[in-house]
Amino acid sequence: MELKKAFEELKKEKKRKFVQSVDLIVNLHNYDVRKEALNTFVKLPNSNKKKVAAFLTKRSSIINTITEEDFKKYKEEKVQKKLAKEYDFFIAVAPMMPKIATTFGRVFGPMNKMPSPQGGIMPNEDEATVKAMIETMGAMVRVRNKEMSIKMSIGKEDMDEAKLIENAESIVKQLEKKLPRGKENIKDAMVKFTMTKPIKFLDNVKK
């Protein structure tokens, strides 16, 4: 089934009282997840608004900021988990990273919320650098798989269908470039809304 048809089928499903996320699921094969697990970023051509917070040495007027002074408020694990769930991404100025890792690493690491050298760590915290990083991270999706499938949000159901299609197609192509054997590692791909069953639009398994 082509991607446009898959979205047409999803729109026939029962309407919900909230705007559902659109998820892309890419199933893998011919792949050793223990030795070849991905820890990278892919970029959405049409970004979905994301909540970003920053670890900085001083307060910023353009982003919610966590300074070293604030760390004492986040000593408890449950408080750190609540913070991690409030934001899609965290960015940080490089000199703060050792203390961020010590304070938040145990909770943020498994939740894929630690600022990363691949995206999220800044050499300095001037306004232009922070603005540029916010814009960059707003279009990024983190990919970190520990199983034979990759799942990510590529938008909301009220987004333009053409933009959702472009997002899905672009992510699949980017994953092909990042996987060790490219297209051969992708078994199939599906799209779904939050409350629907997935619909397959790509099948690379030879019949």
**CA–CA dist 206, 145 (Å, integer):** 24
Q: How many helices (H) and strands (E) does the chain have?
A: 6, 10
- Mean pLDDT over the full length of the chain: 92
Torsion of CA 128, 129, 131, 135, to 10 degrees: 130
Please report, rounded to a whole number, the percentage of residues in the chain having pLDDT higher than 90: 76
- List of E strands, 60-113: 64-66, 89-93
pLDDT at 135: 86
Instruction: Give the pairing of strands 52-55 and 89-93.
Output: parallel
pLDDT of residue 178: 95
| Residues in a beta bridge with 125 | none
Reported residue count of the chain is: 207
Count of CB atoms situated within 10 Å of the CB of 68:
14
pLDDT in tens, 32-64: 998 998 988 899 999 877 789 999 999 999 999
Domains in the chain (CATH in brackets) are 3-47+141-203 (3.30.190.20), 52-138 (3.40.50.790)
Helix (H, G, I), strand (E, B) or coil at 199: strand
Looking at per-residue confidence, does 21 or 138 come out higher?
21
Q: Is 161 exposed, middle or buried (0-12, 13-18, 19+ CB in 10 A)?
A: middle
pLDDT digit string, tens, across residues 104-123: 999 999 998 999 887 799 99
> At residue 207, does pLDDT exceed 70?
no
- State yes or no: pLDDT of 206 exceeds 70: no
For residue 9, the model assigns a pLDDT of 94
Overall average pLDDT of the 118-139 stretch:
90
pLDDT digits (tens, 9 = 90+) for 144-179: 888 999 999 999 999 999 999 999 999 999 999 999
